[in-house]
Chain A
């Protein structure tokens, strides 16, 4: 069966510090991978998605970036965090079919102080 991992689970970082969140998927190959963010009082916002190694699409302009160095690894990064980057970050995967149903990881709660 497929499993998706995210770490860390929680993170408190000062403004201006760098960020690296990691997501890995097991039990599937060549999945589409997604990064979402839920800011306080907001819905789930799609940040990035990837259909393959090295292929990244950005949905919204921001100071975050994403990379996919391996088939089942998706990394969300920032060089300098802003207060507005605080939120709950979810990674999701989709392996095709079933009307684009996505499966989510456990998430990372990021607080920028």
Chain B
């Protein structure tokens, strides 16, 4: 079992603000890091999968970076919108078919 931690646990931001949150994972035997977006009453939706140290991924206003040597990833949202309100989950894997999830960061964007 991998210990994956996310911070903060919850976050409230004003519409238009940019924000970021952190995922920490064991750097040994690292294979991949996944970010998911989970809206209330819906299925978690895959955002990014990251594998290489220094990886940067971007999808619209959302981007993520990866540091495998120190075991962390940042997720950034630029110009937050109310529709960005969701729980953002990260999950790490060593390649043995399983994902180990953090507790998530619950983002609320206030109009």
List chain A positions with a Cβ less than 8 A from chain B: 4, 32, 34, 36, 42-46, 49, 51, 59, 90, 94, 98-107
- Among listed B56-64, B65-73, B74-82, B89-97, interface-contacting one: B89-97
Question: Residue A103 contacts which of B4, B6, B46 (CB distance < 8 angstroms)?
Answer: B46
B interface, over-half SS: loop
Can you list 28 A-B contacts with CB-CB less than 8 angstroms, sorted by A residue number? A4-B43, A42-B103, A43-B4, A43-B89, A43-B101, A43-B102, A44-B101, A44-B104, A45-B101, A46-B99, A46-B101, A49-B97, A59-B1, A90-B43, A99-B31, A99-B34, A99-B49, A99-B51, A100-B31, A100-B32, A100-B34, A100-B95, A100-B97, A101-B34, A102-B99, A104-B43, A105-B43, A106-B43
B interface residues, how many (CB within 8 angstroms): 24
Asked if B44 contacts A104 (CB within 8 A), the reply is yes
Closest residue of chain B to A100 (Cβ to Cβ) is B93
- By beta carbon, the residue of chain A nearest B102 is A43
Binding site for A on B (CB under 8 A): 1, 4, 6, 31-32, 34, 42-44, 46, 49, 51, 89, 91, 93, 95, 97-104
Q: A44-B91, A59-B1 are in contact. List 4 more A-B contacts (CB 8 A).
A: A94-B97, A99-B51, A101-B49, A106-B43
